[in-house]
Amino acid sequence: MSRDSQTAIPCTLMRGGTSKGPFFLASDLPSDAQTRDRVLLSAMGSPDPRQIDGIGGADPLTSKVAIVSRSSRAGIDVDYLFAQVSVDQPLVDLTPTCGNMLAGVGPFAIERGLIAPRDPITSVTIYMVNTGTVAVAHLPTPGGEVTYAGETSIAGVPGTSAGIRIDFRDTAGSVCGSLLPTGSTLDRLDGIEATLVDNGMPMVVLRASDLGKSGHETPAELNSDQKLKSRLETIRILAGERMGLGDVGSKVVPKVSLIAPPQAGGDVMTRTFIPHKCHTAIGVLMAVTVGTACILPRSVAHGIVRQQARPVERLSIEHPSGEFSVEFQVEYTGRELKVIRSSLIRTARALFRGELLVPTRAWEGSPPPPSSADRSRTVEHA
């Protein structure tokens, strides 16, 4: 194969939480958004249900991209742009962010030389470009080196890895502009009560029982229920308008979560759609936002979750493959609640480092990145 037929892009494939995808430096991708999206579609092998001609895993959870750069913002270490690449459509959605992929940003930034590690813990302040919000990842770096070995386990991932604590700051209204985009904790959509909330991820939270479900069905059972999925999409589109997101028919937000009484000693059971397929677990910011709905007074969670007015709320959120614990620091002013901080634990692991090859035609209209030799010379003379 001739060198001219393909373009090599430095890349690290990483698992972040329960998601997986390539991590790139922004400087290694086209600066033009249209060309960049074309390159990402080519890299992942979209649109194709199997993504056979790319590195995507034929699932929304493995068709994600993280783009990282050193930040010029005061008090921020790195900028993180997330891209959800559609599996079977030529779409790259930058509307949401991903808290699972976020877990890999700190290790990637250190290993690519964007920030210097400390011993024994390095705190990386990350600006999430998609939502304009900030997270701080605290990762173990014994001896000033990233380690992936540890005893932390998270549901949906086999084995154990080093735990990474992530604190989210001021995520309320990350996409919609306010924690409660309609100004109410309870709305009615297509005859169903819903809580529309955005604390890092725009979500439509519904009681499973209101849709004739127990909320304990398997993802496969829910995915095969076309009548339910059609009803959920009708509700989601109505919610998008109410939340100020416009026509969301071709967007991945808002996402929908059904809640029900817990089964395994947690606080609430969830079945979450992303947005048309039931998640086998629950995403980080989805868990944060659903958890927020559960502690809001007079929300759809009333009668399902035991609510207490405490300065620190801890919720155990059950999902199809396990449990996800989220901690909230909150302030109550009368009957109103303000979320100050949300925290959780994730893990990450680098899977391979090297060069991803995409057809050079994907770069048409934008100059390709420098070759490996050119990059080496640039580093040597820096």
When pLDDT is cut at 50, 70 and 90, the band that residue 241 belongs to is very high
Distance of CA 222 to the CA centre of its chain: 22
To the question of pTM greater than 0.85 for the whole model, the response is no
pLDDT tens-digit profile of 215-228?
999 999 999 999 99
Check residues 16 and 338 and name the one with the higher pLDDT: 16
Residue type, 27: S
Per-residue tokens: 163: 């735990």
Predicted confidence band of residue 334 (pLDDT cuts 50, 70, 90) = low
Please report which helix (H) or strand (E) contains residue 319, including its range.
strand 312-319
pLDDT band at 210 (very low <50, low <70, confident <90, very high): very high
Note the maximum CA span of the chain: 69
pLDDT of residue 364: 81
Give mean pLDDT, residues 170-196: 94
Kindly report, residue by residue over 42-100, the tens digit of the pLDDT.
999 999 999 999 999 999 999 999 999 999 999 999 999 999 999 999 999 998 899 99
Q: Which amino acid is at 83?
A: A
Bigger pLDDT: 379 or 331?
331
- Long-range CB pairs of 305-314 (<8 Å, 24+ gap) are 305/259, 305/267, 305/268, 306/267
- Check: CB of residue 282 under 8 Å from CB of residue 291: no
Within 10 A of 131 (CB to CB), how many other CB atoms are there? 22
pLDDT digits (tens, 9 = 90+) for 116-165: 999 999 999 999 999 999 999 999 999 999 999 999 999 889 999 999 99
Residue 375 predicted with pLDDT over 80: no
Average pLDDT, the chain: 91
Give pLDDT, residue 381.
Answer: 29
- Residues 2-41 pLDDT 10s: 456 999 999 999 999 999 999 999 999 999 999 999 999 9
Q: Domains of the chain by range and CATH?
A: 3-163+347-380 (3.10.310.10), 187-334 (3.10.310.10)
Going by their DSSP bridges, the two strands 64-70 and 19-25 should be labelled as parallel
CA distance 10 to 29: 9
